Amino acid sequence: MGIFYDESNRLFFIETPNTTMCLAVVDDEGFLNNAYYGAKAGRDDLTYLLGGKDNPAVPSRNDRDRGCYFDKARLEFPSGGTGDYRSPAVCVRDAQGHDSSLFTYVSYRIYDGKDEIHTPAGEGRTVRMPATFAGESSAQTLEIELDEKVLGLKAFLSYSVFEDSDAILKSVRMVNVSDNTVIIDKLLSSNLDIDLAAFGNHEPDIVTLSGSWARERRMDRRRISRGTTEVYSTRGESSHQFQPFSALCEQGTDDSGGKVYAQTLIWSGNFVCGAGMDQFETVRSYIGISPEHFTWDLKPGETFQTPEAVLVFTEDGFDGMSHIFHDLFRGHLIRSPYLYKDRPVLINNWEATYFNFNTDKLLDIAREAKKCGIEMLVMDDGWFGKRDDDNSSLGDWFVNEKKLPGGIGRLSDELEKMGMKFGIWFEPEMISPDSDLYRAHPDWAISSPGRIPTRIRNQYVLDITRSEVRDYVYECVAGILRSAKISYVKWDMNRQLADLGSTGLDAASMGRLSYLYTLGVYDLQERLLAEFPDLLLENCSGGGARYDAGMLFFSPQIWCSDDTDAYERLTIQAGTEMIYPLSTMGAHVSASPNHISGRVMPFDVRGAVALSGTFGYELDITMIPGDERESIPEQVEIYHSIGSIVREGDYYRIARVSDMELYDAWMSVTKDKERALLTYVQCKGSPQNNKRTIRLKGLDPDMKYSLKLIGSDDENSRFCSRGKKDAWKVLAPDGPVSGRSLMNAGLMIPVIWGEYGQVMIELTSEA
């Protein structure tokens, strides 16, 4: 790991343990180009990849065709209006409306460590943006200064690397050193031009994650050809519809192998992410804040900062990509003290009661849950104002004593007496038209004057760009937390932004609203964690609409999806796990038939799927069948037994039900290779004289492993299935088995009787 500057050739080498990025300053004018990014290369003169030192096409040698150079150059910070007709990384306008710009090299600095990122947030203040930090690892940072001489702008491009990561972190800081205001219409965090040779001179594939409410982050793979493929959000959040992520890969790349160039953004608001190929077969990949609903009037002396982009390259396929993202986020982004802790198993009352509950009902659920080993009760929506449905009271964060006589304090005291922790749900960013708050402060809602307000779920969005609104929201949440013994908060957001208008912004600054809104969320959560450092915070947005790296800076877990159907969750979780550690994924066992899909699935299968995340229950435990209730203590015990493997291990994808329909399978393997967990879920039955061979991944080939079927009633028959039909076995050698055999020869899993079934096997190395 390291950053080096070759002064004689004007080359920057940004190195991770297994990758190299080489930036080159080209021509006398100082055009910063990306000469190479990929597998580890030597610190050689790579300017030949850009046409060589005596390139006759550069402007100083061929000014008559200056535009032809820009049309083809692999510029690291391409701008609009000067001859590069591809998607630019920066678009700015001067006071006369001219939108041409060209940024050229000035200087650099390399320093040990990595600075925090702060950005102006209006009202004369700055906010710390979520970003990676060095932690226990050493880090180095390169900052390159570029200059736009006509407009008087400076751009500082930042690149950071850690000694234990193959990720490169990029961001941009823009400073106005002129005497005039300049309008920023677009400023991305990263641009990367890649020669088609990186993909074997074949058109690459692009992988994105798309969906909707209750079907988030489904893998979408398609071919890149001429033109651009782009995903985005203009909803004020990262969204259900698209994830701020893309991966360019060779056509044959799969989970186990192949080249991958991946990117994501540490940001929770509007974004754009895409890639396209030009007429010269160069692929341009980019990510940053969406230019839609965004302008920033940068006044003299002011600074604007982009979010941090994460770039990853690997030759080890999607599994290798996942390992880099997971390790980076666990080691350098998530700050929570719960990161590696055994988190309490919770039960949430939402799918159990919806709005129809009172203190007695909650305590009944808690008593039964306590008997089964569950450790926390979470009270969801409906405890405040006159909230008997979702049509009122958001913003009125005072306890409904008709439902909760004695208030939250009494409820938390009763739970403490029975040895249960207590958690609570908020939707702090929202306001109902039918609320005391809206009647007192209608101007606190984001709105566009003269237009019929756009309601979603019969609610509006609070304008938390304004300090008085943020202060009100914070005191509402903090006041409740001060009033009772509360260990956990679920922070929800159930609608997107529309009608973008704020009474706190002037006309010239209205284009800042979406950006400042996201900073407002960060500000609120930072304040909350500063006052309540031991709080377990789980973010949520109608399920998984704000599942992004930005939120992981504040919360170690995020509610993955409102769809708790275990079959649907297989695909949702497989997409989520491509980028995010399993320990960040809120996953619960819910009742059957499922409340969204109506699907009926065995309790053990529902448990196996949820055990790959932060485990809990979403049901009325007083109403479920007795055999299901009897299974809960065992599931809780399993969670605590294998939890460290899931939280800290490397994730491997074995099979995707979205690809093959028959089954889904994945593994977690500890870093020392001494423990592993295989989860197999059958999703389609067939005649029982059939079989399926599962080849494991990630084990030490020279270690011997003992295999234990998790959940078996019969200690002497460790490969028997539970359920109505247990006359089948996982076929494996008797006694310890080498990792080499398990990975190359595999296990045989005969078809389980019925449609759905599950197998969980714990592997432990033999000394």
Interior/surface letters 42-73, b for 16+ CB within 10 angstroms, e for the rest: eeebbbebbbeeebeebbeeeeeebeebbebb
Q: Quick check: 343 and 67 in contact, CB under 8 A?
A: no
17 backbone φψ class: left, alpha, beta (φ>0; ψ -120 to 50): alpha
Distance CA 494, CA 516 (A): 19
pLDDT in tens, 246-282: 999 999 999 999 999 999 999 999 999 999 999 999 9
Q: 723 pLDDT band (50/70/90 cuts)?
A: very low
* Residue 267: strand, helix, or coil: coil
Instruction: With a cut of 60, say whether residue 414 has pLDDT above it.
Output: yes
Q: What is the mean pLDDT of residues 306-319?
A: 98
What are the boundaries of each domain within the chain?
Answer: 2-332, 653-765
Distance CA 204, CA 209 (A): 17
The pLDDT of residue 689: 67
- How far, in Å, are 157, 247, 296, 449, 454 from residue 300 at the CA level? 20, 38, 13, 31, 37
Top CATH class of 653-765 equals mainly beta
pTM (predicted TM-score): 0.96
Q: What is the mean pLDDT of residues 621-627?
A: 97
* Residue 348 in tokens: 């949430």
Least confidently predicted of 229-233, 547-551, 711-715: 711-715
* Residue 356 in tokens: 């129809």
Residue 652, H or E segment: strand 650-655
Q: Environment class of residue 125 by beta-carbon count within 10 Å: exposed (0-12), middle (13-18) or buried (19+)?
A: exposed
Q: Quick check: 390 and 354 in contact, CB under 8 A?
A: no
The pLDDT of residue 712: 54
Peptide bond into 593 cis (omega under 30): yes
* Residue 312 in tokens: 């990853």
Active-site positions read 548, 628
Distance CA 538, CA 614 (A): 10
pLDDT in tens, 14-41: 999 999 999 999 999 999 999 999 999 9
Instruction: With a cut of 80, say whether residue 759 has pLDDT above it.
Output: yes
Percent of the chain with pLDDT over 90: 89
Q: 752 pLDDT band (50/70/90 cuts)?
A: confident
The verdict on domain 2-332 having CATH code 1.20.210.10 is no
User: Is it true that 2-332 and 653-765 share their CATH fold?
Assistant: no
User: What is the rounded average pLDDT for all residues in the chain?
Assistant: 94
* Residue 164 in tokens: 């234990």
What are the residues whose beta carbons fall under 8 Å from the beta carbon of 532, sequence distance 6 or more?
Answer: 478, 481
The pLDDT of residue 124: 83
Beta-bridged to residue 748, according to DSSP, are: 693, 731
Backbone angles phi, psi at 566, to 5 degrees: -60, -35
